[in-house]
Structure 1
Amino acid sequence: MSLVNVTGLTVEFGSLRAVDGLSFRLEQGAALALVGESGSGKSTVASALLGLHRGTGARVGGSIEVAGVDVQEAPDEALRRLRGGKAAMVFQDPLSSLDPYYAIGDQIAEVYRVHTRVSRRAARARAVEVLDRVGIPDALRRSRSRPHEFSGGMRQRALIAMALACEPDLLIADEPTTALDVTVQAQILDLLHTLRQETGMGLLLVTHDVGVAAESVDEVLVMRHGRAVEHGPVAAVLGSPSQPYTRDLLGAVPRVDAPRAAAQVREEPPEVVLEARGLRREFGRGKRAFTAVDDVSLTIHRGETLGVVGESGSGKTTLGRMLVGLLEPTAGQVRYDGHARVGVRPAVQMVFQDPVSSLNPRRSVGESVADPLRARGESDEGRIRERVRELLERVGLEAAHYDRYPHEFSGGQRQRVGIARALAADPRVIVCDEPVSALDVTTQAQVVALLGELQRELGLALVFVAHDLAVVRQVSDRVAVMRRGRIVEEGPADEVYDNPRDPYTRQLLAAVPALDPRIAAQRRSARRELATL
């Protein structure tokens, strides 16, 4: 009997059919990835496997069997035993999945006690055991820590530990690496692979990142509009896709081994529009002082893109905020057009990582885009409204969207609103802080193409801050690699990527997911060997 057997699954929310007649199987110990764009129905399917739509008003049809349990017909008590016992789920955002008030170890112990009825002491011991198993250092001490005391990667490991506590037959991982940088992502994917080998559990991986699928699974099921587009062995689907949609999806994936298609030809000497000299930024005082950026110097030329890459905590975002003027440096200087810059200047704007939190939910997107126009003294409301409509159309939205609110837009559309707002100030430099990290690959490609088009038409300089090395190579003329607040390597993008000098740069590149499963396996083996040295 298959570990998972889904036949004719449909899920409807009101008039919307999110999943439409989906069927698939997953055998014990095997791994299957559900791949597709945002809105394709992937996460809806994952939730249906554990009966999480029950009581929500969603209408679920078809047959779902998981670890011998008929999810559609099982009583609530049987579903509770299934969840966490025979099948466990790891969600995309570990911070919202963990209770901020309780220690990590206590939360894992509570899950274990619900399913096994053991003593508190035995449950706490089990919590420490699984935390150690997923690679949390000093697991006994860290089990007493609360979620905010863990990094993003450690919180994701803690969620995996919680899922493993009861030794489930099936692990469902819903976008488990979306918010993680490449090295931590590689660690989590390696961990999932090792756990499969050692425990024999099955894995259902939900992801929009085709590279992550190549690293992790045996089979791929490509979804679009709630339906299966293509299904087969990972090497066949990714190597020789039979369906146009799958080919388009693969074509949108940025490649770390592909040079930028159209490198810019420049006349010498290039015009320097923004310059950082010896920037340093400290947070806290005395013994608690932390240096986030340490003696960083950069030049940004008119019309070029400077990529800034590094792991979480490397100082990328702090550097970007100092370049814009949102943070004042502890030491050093930012110069615009050859003059020291004080405070925020309209000529240097920022596009933020999370367009949801950077847009006021109580104001229409048109009013948010209009803010820079009013800030520089424009008072004619008719002219303001006309200019905002022009900007919305310029970034691929509609003039009529002026009066809509952020919640009415998709993630990619909200990011376009953020770009329109930055353009409203007529900038010469835009600092983009992880502008596509939360978007699926096709939406990523659209936003990146938009930025490139605007750069060519307006002569903008871009500073592209990101942890995704493939995207950075695609868009950048030059690249600066940051580690622990310092730049460890800088140069033309192709030179840095093809002939990295610094060991840290080589380590980052080795962690990038490969679309070829054979190469992915070789890299995983190489990482395992390095870890044992």
Structure 2
Amino acid sequence: MSLVDVKDLTVEFGSLRAVDGLSFRLEQGGALALVGESGSGKSTVASALLGLHRGTGARVGGSVEVAGTDVEQASDEELRRLRGGKAAMVFQDPLSSLDPYYAIGDQIAEVYRVHARVSRRAARARAVEVLERVGIPDAPRRSRSRPHEFSGGMRQRALIAMALACEPALLIADEPTTALDVTVQAQILDLLHTLREETGMGLLLVTHDVGVAAESVDEVLVMRHGRAVEHGPVGTVLGTPGEPYTRELLAAVPRVDARRVTAGVAGEAGAAVVGPAGAVLESGVVAFESGGCVLESGAAALESAGSAREPGAVAFKSGGSVLESGEPAFESAESAREPGPVAHEPGGAALEPGAVVLEAIGLRREFGRGKKAFTAVDGVSLTIRRGETLGVVGESGSGKTTLGRMLVGLLEPTAGEIKPGGGVRPEVQMVFQDPVSSLNPRRSVGESIADPLRARGERDETRIRGRVTELLERVGLEGAHYDRYPHEFSGGQRQRVGIARALAADPRVIVCDEPVSALDVTTQAQVVALLGELQRELGLALVFVAHDLAVVRQVSDRVAVMRQGRIVESGPADEVYDNPQDPYTQQLLAAVPALDPEVAARRRATRRELAAA
């Protein structure tokens, strides 16, 4: 009997069919990844396995059997025994999944007592045992800590410990590493792999990150619009995908080992081919037309400027925007990289391409006082030039976000100074990591975008609305969206709203703080392409703060690697990535997920050896 047996599953919310006739099996001890874009139905399927849609108004059809329990026919009592006992779930956001008022150990002990009917003392001992099992140091003491006292990676480990408390046969992990940096992500994935080996439990992994799937599972099921597009062994699906959508999904995945390709004339050696989501494809990689059909190997990815394209075929600029009919497919390498026309500051001074627009000298930022003082940024100096992207990478807690907030002026440095280029302070704006929390849910997106205009003294409401409409259209939304509210937009659309709001102040520098960390790969590529296009047209300087090293390489001219508040290595992006000098940089690059399962297995073995040494 299969551990999970899903037949013709449908889930409907009103008129929306989120899952449409899905069928799959998961055997005892197996590992399956559900992969797809946001809105493909992955999390809905995971919830259906535990009957979490019961009582919500959702209409569920088909059959779902988990660990011998018919989920749809089970009584409420049988479902309670299933949840946490036979099957457990690890959710995406551990902070919202844990009660902030209770100690971590108490929450794990409570789950164990519900299913095992043991004493409080025994439950507490079990909580400490599973915390030790998932690698929490000094577990007896840390079990008394509350969630806010744990880092993001430790909170995710605590959730996994809670799931393991009753030794379930199935672990469902819904985007368990989305908000984690690469080293912590590697630790969590290694932990899941080790637990599978030791306990023989099955794993259902829900993820939009194809690299995470390659690291963790035996089989992959690719979903789109609630349906299964492709299903098979992980090596086959990721290595030789049979469906156009799967190939398109893989094409949008940024590669940490691929150099940033500058645009050239189509057909030239080294010319970039840009996918439909704006992702640059490596030389020789299959390119896609807008309809999803694949060009034959060796066929020209984009026709020359004078030749006709097939009806419906779309060519893309290096920034990701669609070319008009008859427009050259690629500009020359020099003109494509040149950051727009010469800009002028309000004082009238010309700002040449490559001119310094912002300089930080010896920045230091401390939090707290006396013995409890903590130095988040310690002696950081950097230069930001017009039209370039400076990538800032490092683990969580390395000081990246604090540095970005000082550059914008949201935090005052404890020491050091920020000097404007040319003696004129440029407008510096920020695009935040979480567009949900950075947009007021009670105000329309148009009003939020208008705030910088009003702050600069604009009072003519007609002109304000016209400018906001222009900005919405500039970032790929509709002017009619002015009166809509944040909850009416997808994650990628909300991030576009955040970019429009930053542009409203006519900035010279935009600091992007993890702007694509929570987005699926195709939406991520679209947002990155939009930023690149805006940079090229407006001459913007970008500071791209992120823990995703592959994305940073894709967008950056220069890279600064931060650790414990200091820059440990910096330089041109290709030099830093291809020949890292600092051991910490080497460690970060070694932790990036590989799309090849065999490479992933070798890296995992290497990490185990280093951990045991």
Rounded Cα–Cα distance in structure 2 between residues aligned with 1:158 and 1:348: 39
The answer for the alignment partner of 2:528 in structure 1 is 448
Rounded Cα–Cα distance in structure 1 between residues aligned with 2:459 and 2:122: 69
Counterparts in 2 of 1:322-337, with a 5 A limit?
A: 322-337=406-421
The answer for the alignment partner of 2:498 in structure 1 is 418
Q: CA RMSD in A?
A: 1.2
Instruction: State yes or no: 1:95 paired with 2:67.
Output: no
Rounded Cα–Cα distance in structure 1 between residues aligned with 2:515 and 2:571: 22
**2:159 is paired with a residue of what secondary structure?**
helix
The answer for the alignment partner of 1:521 in structure 2 is 601
Rounded Cα–Cα distance in structure 1 between residues aligned with 2:56 and 2:241: 37
* Contact 1:28–1:202 (Cα < 8 Å) also in 2: yes
Rounded Cα–Cα distance in structure 1 between residues aligned with 2:571 and 2:421: 22
Q: Deviations over 1:55-81 (max 9, x none)?
A: 111111101110011111111111110
Rounded Cα–Cα distance in structure 2 between residues aligned with 1:210 and 1:502: 28
Instruction: State yes or no: 1:471 paired with 2:555.
Output: no
Rounded Cα–Cα distance in structure 2 between residues aligned with 1:113 and 1:366: 50
1:461 corresponds to which letter in structure 2? A
Q: Deviations over 1:403-428 (max 9, x none)?
A: 11111111100110110111111111
The answer for the alignment partner of 1:289 in structure 2 is 373
Rounded Cα–Cα distance in structure 2 between residues aligned with 1:166 and 1:368: 47
Give the superposition deviation at 1:84.
0.6
Counterparts in 2 of 1:84-163, with a 5 A limit?
A: 84-163=84-163
Rounded Cα–Cα distance in structure 2 between residues aligned with 1:288 and 1:74: 54
**1:402 is paired with a residue of what secondary structure?**
helix
Rounded Cα–Cα distance in structure 2 between residues aligned with 1:324 and 1:441: 28
Q: Deviations over 1:299-337 (max 9, x none)?
A: 011100000000000000000011111111000000112
Q: Deviations over 1:420-459 (max 9, x none)?
A: 1111111111110000001110000000000000000011
**1:445 is paired with a residue of what secondary structure?**
helix
Counterparts in 2 of 1:144-183, with a 5 A limit?
A: 144-183=144-183
**Greater helix percent: which structure?**
1
Percentage of matched positions with identical amino acids: 89
* Contact 2:364–2:415 (Cα < 8 Å) also in 1: yes
Rounded Cα–Cα distance in structure 2 between residues aligned with 1:362 and 1:62: 39
The answer for the alignment partner of 1:279 in structure 2 is 363
Counterparts in 2 of 1:369-518, with a 5 A limit?
A: 369-518=449-598
Rounded Cα–Cα distance in structure 2 between residues aligned with 1:156 and 1:19: 28
5+ residue gaps, structure 2, are 264-332, 339-351
**1:282 is paired with a residue of what secondary structure?**
strand
The answer for the alignment partner of 1:5 in structure 2 is 5
Q: Deviations over 1:22-68 (max 9, x none)?
A: 00000000000000011100000000001111111111110111001
Give the superposition deviation at 1:270.
3.3
Counterparts in 2 of 1:224-303, with a 5 A limit?
A: 224-262=224-262, 270-303=354-387
1:284 corresponds to which letter in structure 2? G
**1:40 is paired with a residue of what secondary structure?**
coil
Give the superposition deviation at 1:269.
9.2
**1:361 is paired with a residue of what secondary structure?**
coil
Rounded Cα–Cα distance in structure 1 between residues aligned with 2:353 and 2:570: 19
**1:221 is paired with a residue of what secondary structure?**
strand
1:332 corresponds to which letter in structure 2? G
2:76 corresponds to which letter in structure 1? D
2:405 corresponds to which letter in structure 1? R
**Structure 1 residues 16 and 270 mapped into 2: Cα distance closer, same or farther (>3 Å)?**
closer
Task: Pick one of 290, 301, 305 that aligns with 2:389.
Answer: 305
Give the superposition deviation at 1:340.
8.4
* Contact 1:333–1:340 (Cα < 8 Å) also in 2: no
Give the superposition deviation at 1:361.
1.1
* Contact 1:88–1:171 (Cα < 8 Å) also in 2: yes
Q: Deviations over 1:144-167 (max 9, x none)?
A: 111111100000000000100111
2:565 corresponds to which letter in structure 1? G
Give the superposition deviation at 1:262.
1.4
Rounded Cα–Cα distance in structure 1 between residues aligned with 2:182 and 2:143: 25
The answer for the alignment partner of 2:216 in structure 1 is 216
> What number of residue pairs does the alignment pair up?
529
Rounded Cα–Cα distance in structure 2 between residues aligned with 1:69 and 1:354: 38
Q: Deviations over 1:2-32 (max 9, x none)?
A: 0000000000111111000000000000000
The answer for the alignment partner of 1:47 in structure 2 is 47
Q: Deviations over 1:216-244 (max 9, x none)?
A: 00000000000000000000000011111
**1:326 is paired with a residue of what secondary structure?**
coil
Q: Deviations over 1:375-414 (max 9, x none)?
A: 1111211111111111100000001111111111111001
Rounded Cα–Cα distance in structure 2 between residues aligned with 1:203 and 1:48: 15
Q: Deviations over 1:81-109 (max 9, x none)?
A: 01111100000011111111111111111
Rounded Cα–Cα distance in structure 2 between residues aligned with 1:303 and 1:405: 32
Large movers: runs of 4+ above 2 Å: 263-270, 338-341
* Contact 2:354–2:387 (Cα < 8 Å) also in 1: no
The answer for the alignment partner of 1:314 in structure 2 is 398
Identify the range of structure 1 (260-269 vs 228-237) with the bigger mean alpha-carbon deviation: 260-269
Rounded Cα–Cα distance in structure 2 between residues aligned with 1:376 and 1:58: 47
* Contact 1:183–1:311 (Cα < 8 Å) also in 2: yes
Rounded Cα–Cα distance in structure 2 between residues aligned with 1:175 and 1:236: 22
Rounded Cα–Cα distance in structure 2 between residues aligned with 1:288 and 1:307: 31
1:149 corresponds to which letter in structure 2? E
2:600 corresponds to which letter in structure 1? A
Identify the range of structure 1 (257-266 vs 202-211) with the bigger mean alpha-carbon deviation: 257-266
